[in-house]
C-alpha cells in the first residue's frame, strides 16, 4: 500500500518527540498526506530547525516546546495545537528516552525520568486529548512502544518496564474508548537506526529505518471505518 497517495487533508495531528528520528519521520509522512501537524520536543532550537525543514517541504507545521512528563506542559501543548490547527484527529505518542544498564544499578532518578516520559507522558497526553475525541466520536491515538515491551532485554530493565507498562495502559485505554469510535493502537518496532539507544555490533543496513515506523502509522490512520488494528509488531527482514 502506498500510503502517501492516501489523503489526510483537513485533519490535524500531534506528534510528540517530533523533532528528530522516528517522530520527525512520522510528522513528515502525515504532513505529506495533507495533515496539519503539531510537533513537540523539549529542545526548542532543534524543534525550530526541524519545523523549518518540514515547512521547506511545503508542510503545515506547528512547533511546540513541551515536556510530556509535566501536566502543565501537556495541557498547554494540546490547547495550543487545537487553537491553531483545530480539533486533533490523530495523536502519536512517540516521545521516549532510555537508560540502559543492570537493573540493580539503576538510580531512582533514572527510573523516574524514563517512566515519567515513556509512560506517564503518554497517560497525560491521552488524558488531555480524550475529551474532545469523545465529544466528536472520532480519533486515532497511536503509541510508539517497542519490541522491548514484549520481550526481556539484558541491561534494559528500566526501559522495558516503561514499555511493558505502556502496552498494558494502551490496551486498556483502547477498550475504554472503542465505544466512542476512537482507536488506540500500539506500534512496536525492533531496532531502528536513530541516535536512540545502543546499536553496538549491529549492521545499520539491516536495521529498520524511521520511515518504516512512519509507514506503519500511516497505515493505521487510513484504516477503513469498520476495522481496528490494535497492534503492529515491526521487525527488519534480516536480523541486524
| The one catalytic residue among 159, 186, 217, 232 | 159
The phi-psi region of residue 119 (left if phi > 0; otherwise alpha if psi is between -120 and 50; otherwise beta) is alpha
Q: How is the beta sheet containing 12-16 ordered, strand by strand?
A: 61-65, 36-41, 12-16, 90-93, 139-144, 182-189, 231-234
Give the separation between CA 24 and CA 15, rounded to whole angstroms: 8
Give the separation between CA 206 and CA 146, rounded to whole angstroms: 17
159 is catalytic: yes
Active site residues: 159
Amino acid at each position: 500500500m502506498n500510503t502517501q497517495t492516501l489523503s489526510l487533508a483537513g485533519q490535524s495531528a500531534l506528534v510528540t518527540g517530533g523533532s528528530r528520528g522516528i517522530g520527525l519521520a512520522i510528522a513528515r509522512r502525515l504532513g505529506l498526506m495533507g495533515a496539519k501537524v503539531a510537533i513537540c520536543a523539549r529542545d526548542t532550537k532543534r524543534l525550530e530547525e526541524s519545523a523549518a525543514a518540514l515547512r521547506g517541504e511545503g508542510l503545515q507545521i506547528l512547533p511546540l516546546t513541551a515536556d510530556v512528563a509535566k501536566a502543565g506542559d501537556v495541557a498547554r501543548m494540546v490547547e495550543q495545537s487545537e487553537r491553531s490547527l483545530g480539533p486533533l484527529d490523530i495523536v502519536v505518542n512517540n516521545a521516549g528516552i532510555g537508560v540502559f544498564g543492570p537493573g540493580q544499578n539503576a538510580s531512582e532518578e533514572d527510573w523516574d525520568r524514563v517512566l515519567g516520559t515513556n509512560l506517564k507522558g503518554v497517560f497525560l497526553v491521552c488524558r488531555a486529548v480524550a475529551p474532545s475525541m469523545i465529544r466528536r466520536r472520532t480519533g486515532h491515538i497511536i503509541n510508539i512502544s517497542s519490541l522491548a515491551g514484549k520481550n526481556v532485554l539484558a541491561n534494559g530493565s528500566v526501559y522495558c518496564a516503561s514499555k511493558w507498562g505502556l502496552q498494558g495502559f494502551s490496551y486498556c485505554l483502547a477498550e475504554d474508548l472503542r465505544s466512542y469510535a476512537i482507536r488506540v493502537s500500539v506500534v512496536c518496532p525492533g531496532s531502528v537506526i536513530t541516535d536512540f539507544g545502543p546499536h553496538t555490533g549491529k549492521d545499520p543496513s539491516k536495521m529498520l529505518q524511521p520511515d518504516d515506523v512512519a509507514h506503519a502509522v500511516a497505515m493505521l490512520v487510513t484504516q477503513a471505518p469498520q476495522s481496528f488494528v490494535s497492534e503492529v509488531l515491526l521487525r527488519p527482514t534480516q536480523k541486524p
